[in-house]
Amino acid sequence: MPETKPQSVQHTADVVALTRSGHVLLIERGWPPFKGAWALPGGYVEPGEALFVAAARKLAEETGVAVAVGTLHLIAEDVESCGLDAADLREAADAAQAGAQVLDEEKALVFRGFEVSEEELDPVLDALLPNRLAYVYGNSPRTRVGRNVYTSTEYPAEFTISMHNELSYAHRWPARLAFCCVTAPATGGATPVVDAGLWLESLDDEVRERFADGVRYPQNLHGGAGLGKSWQDTFETTDREEVDRFLAASQAGSQWQRDGSLRVTQHRPATVRHPRTGAEVWFNQSDQWHPAALGDETAAALARLMPPEQLPQSVAFADGEPIPAEYVVQVRDLGLAGAVDVDWRAGDVMVIDNILVGHGRRPYTGPRRLLVAMSD
């Protein structure tokens, strides 16, 4: 297995400059990546340089516009509390719509210092995620708390949730995710994020080659009582015909069982390319759907309870052959090893590109409440 080296983190300062009429100042990039694309002015913060100073310097260098450092406001990552509120974040998010390529480049953005409360979250999400999606066909336990707003995965606090891209096993997946921290945990509870392109590159050639044809996801969804999620919770409906229409559009195989349960089988790619950047990324949940990722004891206990074809969810290569346990363990471990932890403070909001970035969860103690929304 290849060695993984710690990743260094270099901060950038990007500027959202608005005219009196509300237009956003953009530059045309003259260098790769994304040469020729529109972007916000900005760049790397030099060692020992203050964030505001770097922002003013890059604005002057790239646009010729000189501004006083004291006229700038913080609206992005690593912002300490500076008297801003949710209304300020809504304005910043509105402006950021004109610069969607920023997320293509940065992949994840953390808004800190705006102290967004649960009651103030809805208009913020309207700006950040204009077309919020329902969590239909999601396999993790969540509670819907608002207009397509959900709790983060309700999984015991002592366990790690490995890296994944949301709904990568589905026919349609969200392009962006937004997280809001309502209650920060006493300890731990970070959301690790990993560059999915680097994740792919870190895997052994043998693993990448074997996954080249994609993966198969069999699922058994009970009808109201059983192990795992019911089909009613999974599809957020009790209408079988609605479920059939959804699965037909998803090109998934399905069969209703005599006991009221539903068996679904899907063939999905193991990697995808980002629609704008063209970057190829690791994009599947083979490790999370494989019993080996649960640990030896849990996997053995499940094997004693039921055969693989009756598990709530399982995974195989596209040709139906079993995936070796050591493959999925490598995928899981390298994803976590390459991740950068985002430690939460109450009021934080994070937006990620769901294709370019995988996410997970570290164990924690004390109450922790994160809300999640998704968009196309």
Predicted local confidence at residue 78, as pLDDT: 44
Residue 323 CB: number of other CB atoms within 10 A?
22
Show me where the domains of the chain are located: 1-72, 213-270+283-322
Which H or E run contains 326? helix 325-337
Are 106 and 277 in contact by the 8 Å Cβ rule? The answer is no
Alpha carbon of residue 263 to chain centroid: 27
Predicted local confidence at residue 37, as pLDDT: 76
Distance separating alpha carbons of residues 358 and 31, to the nearest angstrom: 27
Residues 205, 206, 209, 214, Cα dihedral to 10°: -120
- CATH number of this structure's domain 1-72: 3.90.79.10
Are 134 and 121 in contact by the 8 Å Cβ rule? The answer is no
**Amino acid sitting at position 55:** A
List phi, psi (to 5°) of 208: -60, -40
Q: Global pTM?
A: 0.70
Distance separating alpha carbons of residues 210 and 284, to the nearest angstrom: 14
Distance separating alpha carbons of residues 130 and 357, to the nearest angstrom: 20
Which H or E run contains 268? strand 262-268
Tens-level pLDDT at each residue, the chain (376 residues): 445 444 444 567 888 887 655 567 888 877 766 677 788 888 878 776 766 677 888 888 888 887 765 556 655 444 343 444 566 556 555 554 544 667 888 899 999 988 999 999 988 888 888 788 887 766 667 788 888 899 998 889 999 999 999 999 888 899 999 999 999 999 999 999 999 999 999 999 999 999 999 999 998 999 988 888 899 988 889 999 999 998 898 889 999 999 999 999 999 999 999 998 999 999 999 999 898 877 667 666 776 777 777 888 889 999 999 999 999 999 999 999 999 999 999 999 999 999 999 999 999 999 999 999 999 8
List phi, psi (to 5°) of 229: -90, 150
Token output for 55: 């922002």
Residues 222-271 have pLDDT tens digits of: 998 888 889 998 888 999 999 999 889 888 999 999 999 999 999 999 99
Predicted local confidence at residue 36, as pLDDT: 76
DSSP string, 158-213: TSPEEEE-TTTTSSS--SEEEEEEEE--SEE--EEEEEHHHHHHHS-HHHHHHTTT
What are the strands of the beta sheet with 253-256, ordered from one edge?
253-256, 262-268, 215-221, 316-317
Nearest to 101 by CA among 28, 44, 23: 28
